[in-house]
Every structure is written in C-alpha cells, then in structure tokens.
C-alpha cells in the first residue's frame, strides 16, 4: 500500500522514466532487426521487462553496457519457439503486439498473463489476424491464454472498429510477414510510435491520413534508439503541480509526439501554466522540457478525436477536474472500461470516497469541481494509473490517504513515490 499526506507545494527539476509504449516497441522491433541495436533510457518496468523476457525465451540475446541495453537482433525469421508459455504479466501491449509477430512464425506459441490480463478482450486482435490466415485458439474465443499456430499470412486492408494503437500495431507487425501489402485504417488517429520506429529501422511503411500500409517480407536493420521520457508518466506531475498552490517544476526530456501530447492541450484549455521548452528530436520522436506552475483550473468538456490521444491520462485528468472550478465532462472514453481495470468505475468510486463530486457515465465521467478532498482508504484494483492518480489526489487532501494494492505502479513508473517525495514540501 501507499500512504500519502497533503503537501504544501512541489518544486524541482526532474526526469520521468522512459516511455513505456516506445520501450516495448524498441525491444520487439530491434529483436526482429538484423544485427546489433542499442537502446538508451529503456524503461525497466514490469511490463517492459515482460516483453524483454518474452524475447529471451525466443532466443534473443541482450547485454547491458552502462545505461545502454544492447539487443542482438536475428531478423524477421530468427526467433525460436519458446519451450514454455510466454507470460505477459499485466501487459496488454506485450500480448497484443507479440500476437502479430507470432502469427507469422513457423512455430506454435502460447501467450498468457496475470488474472487482470486474462480478463481483457483479445478478440480485437484475433479477428484481423484470422482474416490474414492465422490460426488462433482462445478461451471463449476471446480471452487469454492464446494459442497461436504460426504460418502463412496474406496481406489485408482492415478498418478498425475501435481506435486502438495496440490493435493497429499488431496487424502491421503481422504485415511484416504477410504476402503483399497490409493496411490499417483508423476511425481516429492513435499513437504512431509503431509507424515511426518501423520506418526508422528500414520497413517499407507509408502513412496517408488515417491509413497505414506496410509491405511484407522486407527486413529491418538494427540501429540506436533513444527512448524519450514518458508523457503519460509526466502527466501525473503536470497535474500535481497545476493543482497544488505554489508549485513549480521542470520535467526534462519528455516525448511530445503529436499523437500523445493531448494532455498538455487539455490542461492548457483548463488554464494550466505549462511551457514547452527546448524542442528537439530523439531519432524519429520529438522531445521537449516541460515547465509547469500552479494555476487555477476551470472545468471543460473533453470529447471527440482527442480521446484516443489522452486515453491513458484520463484518470489523472479526473483528479485535475475535481479540483477545478466548474463542471468537466469526459465523453467518448468507453475504452477505459477495458483497461487494466474499469477505470471509469474505479476513478468515480474512489474519488467519491475522498469527497469529489463525480458521476460515472457509460462512456466517461461528469465531474463537479471545487472539491475539498479528504483523506480516505482507497483501492487501485491493481491498476497502475488508478493508483498514481489517487496518489496525486491525496497530495491535496486533508489528512492521510491510504491507497491499497500499489505494487502495480512498477508496471510503468518505478520510483514514483521516491520522486514525489523528492520534490514535495510539507
């Protein structure tokens, strides 16, 4: 559990851990590349380490040199069958993306995970992979464990019924092994780290609007990859500094990919004082330093195309809204119901315990701001983003807050509590 108390202000210069989405992809894509690759600022979290472990089981060698992770890639067809099921832990990214890779192999694999991951929907990747020719067995035809019989794949054009970067990436990775071209059309744009990194490593991949197309059977070449700081992790600090009077912090080397930086846009619309400084690129990814100061926030309506861009940040955005002046409405975020937990339900129920005025809706939340939060005993339900969002709320609450089941924080933000205490004044 995590025990939190109210703080006076936040002050300091910090960095956040490497981007989780990019770290996953860096391991997978360099393992499929020819030759040696170097990954800097790889996120040593449980989720990303599960991805690394999966490729160790399939014969990929890794070494460390200082802060660099060296990956000895074996090309598209160099993987070997794992002698035991691949345990993805709590990581939906690991399971969904690796499913696309394994569908094109010449061996059979089993993917499993913890009790939370085994409840998450996998039919969204099973359906398009089967249309490419893959043979996949699943519990109730939808849930893990997944048994994937690798083999011949045919390129397809697939329109996603629900915007999902994980599903898009799964199909594009399968497309690396398919005959012909494979295209994915999104209803709205989602994070494009897969497209950027595959292009950087030499894939023949093109993006036209909301359509991404990859040519099959073209190899990748190993390179150096620098992982930016994770903007989803930075979001907790952006909100914390915005709602705690007297705060001012600088977060260095944060990824500001346009398909991921919606949290900055939304907070600025709420009145946040966030400055984007020192813009540069780490390979194909844009990076900047973010300066944030306390500001009196106001409620807004959040809906439409920006929702996929901020889907992971909505839990902590709900905390900002609870402290803002006026009403905030979040719509079109039904995807939150099938994350590590039902984040709509968990954030509504637990913030209510702390005194927030919040209504759970079918596809989002209505939050009536200006709450004075009180310390309480709350539960993360094993969800890292719920746990960290409640911790940020606790920093503004009167009295002590106890957050149960917080080991999950290590899935994305190891050192979270230590960093908060470093920049906090009581």
Catalytically active residues are 312
- What DSSP assignment string belongs to 346-404? HHHHHHHHTT-EEEEETTEEEEE-----B--EEE-TT-HHHHHHHHHHHTTSBSEEEEE
**CA–CA separation, 401 and 231 (whole Å):** 26
Cβ contacts of residue 394 below 8 Å, gap of 6+?
Answer: 4, 5, 6, 354, 373, 375, 401, 403
Cβ contacts of residue 167 below 8 Å, gap of 6+?
Answer: 96, 124, 125, 128, 160
Evaluate the CA torsion angle 71, 79, 45, 288 in order and state its sign: positive
- State how beta strands 377-379 and 400-404 pair: parallel
User: What 3-state DSSP class applies to 101?
Assistant: helix
Q: Are 319 and 393 in contact (CB under 8 A)?
A: yes
**CA–CA separation, 425 and 237 (whole Å):** 14
Among residues 248, 279, 267, which one has the least CA distance to residue 13?
A: 248
Q: Give the DSSP H/E element, type plus range, for residue 287.
A: strand 285-293
**CA–CA separation, 307 and 400 (whole Å):** 33
**CA–CA separation, 378 and 401 (whole Å):** 7
**CA–CA separation, 330 and 210 (whole Å):** 24
Q: Where are the alpha helices (DSSP H) in 32-122?
A: 46-57, 92-102
Q: C-alpha distances in angstroms, 43 versus 57, 64, 250, 298, 356? A: 19, 13, 20, 34, 33
Taking the CA of residue 11 as centre, how many other CA atoms within 13 Å lie in the half-sphere pointing to its CB? 6
Query: Cα-flanking dihedrals φ and ψ of residue 138, to 5°?
Result: -145, 160
**CA–CA separation, 27 and 89 (whole Å):** 16
Cβ contacts of residue 277 below 8 Å, gap of 6+?
Answer: 288, 289, 290, 291
């Amino acid at each position: 559990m995590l025990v939190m108390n109210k703080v006076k202000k936040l002050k300091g210069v910090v960095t956040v851990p490497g981007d989780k989405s990019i770290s996953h992809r860096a391991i997978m894509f360099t393992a499929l590349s020819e030759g040696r690759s170097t990954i800097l600022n790889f996120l040593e979290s449980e989720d990303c380490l599960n991805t690394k472990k999966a490729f160790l089981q399939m014969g990929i060698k890794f070494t460390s040199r200082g802060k660099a992770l060296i990956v000895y890639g074996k090309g598209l067809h160099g993987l070997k069958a794992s002698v035991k099921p691949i345990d993805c832990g709590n990581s939906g990214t690991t399971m969904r993306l690796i499913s696309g890779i394994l569908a094109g192999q010449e061996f059979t694999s089993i993917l499993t995970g913890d009790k939370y991951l085994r409840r998450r929907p996998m039919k969204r990747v099973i359906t398009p992979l089967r249309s490419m020719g893959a043979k996949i067995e699943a519990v109730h035809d939808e849930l893990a464990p997944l048994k994937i019989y690798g083999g011949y794949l045919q390129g397809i054009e697939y329109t996603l019924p629900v915007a999902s970067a994980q599903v898009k990436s799964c199909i594009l990775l399968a497309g690396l092994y398919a005959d012909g071209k494979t295209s994915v059309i999104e209803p709205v744009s989602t994070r494009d780290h897969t497209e950027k990194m595959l292009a950087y490593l030499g894939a023949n991949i093109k993006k036209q609007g909301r359509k991404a197309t990859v040519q099959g059977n073209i190899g990748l070449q190993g390179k150096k990859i620098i992982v930016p700081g994770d903007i989803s992790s930075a979001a907790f600090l952006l909100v914390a500094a915005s709602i705690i009077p007297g705060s001012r912090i600088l977060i260095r080397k944060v990824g500001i990919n346009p398909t991921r930086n919606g949290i900055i846009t939304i907070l600025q619309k709420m009145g946040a004082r966030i400055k984007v400084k020192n813009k540069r690129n780490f390979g194909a990814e844009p990076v900047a330093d973010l300066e944030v100061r306390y500001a009196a926030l106001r409620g807004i309506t959040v809906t439409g195309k920006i929702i996929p861009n901020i889907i992971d940040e909505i839990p902590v955005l709900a905390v900002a809204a609870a402290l803002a002046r006026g009403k905030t409405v979040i719509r079109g975020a039904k995807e939150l119901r099938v994350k590590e937990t039902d984040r709509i339900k968990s954030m509504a129920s637990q913030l209510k315990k702390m005194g927030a005025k919040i209504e759970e809706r079918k596809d989002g939340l209505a939050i009536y701001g200006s709450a004075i939060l009180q310390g309480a005993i709350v539960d993360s339900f094993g969800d890292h983003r719920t746990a960290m969002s409640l911790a940020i709320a606790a920093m503004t609450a009167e009295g002590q807050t106890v957050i149960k089941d917080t080991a999950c924080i290590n899935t994305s933000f190891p050192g979270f509590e230590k960093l908060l205490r470093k920049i906090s004044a009581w």
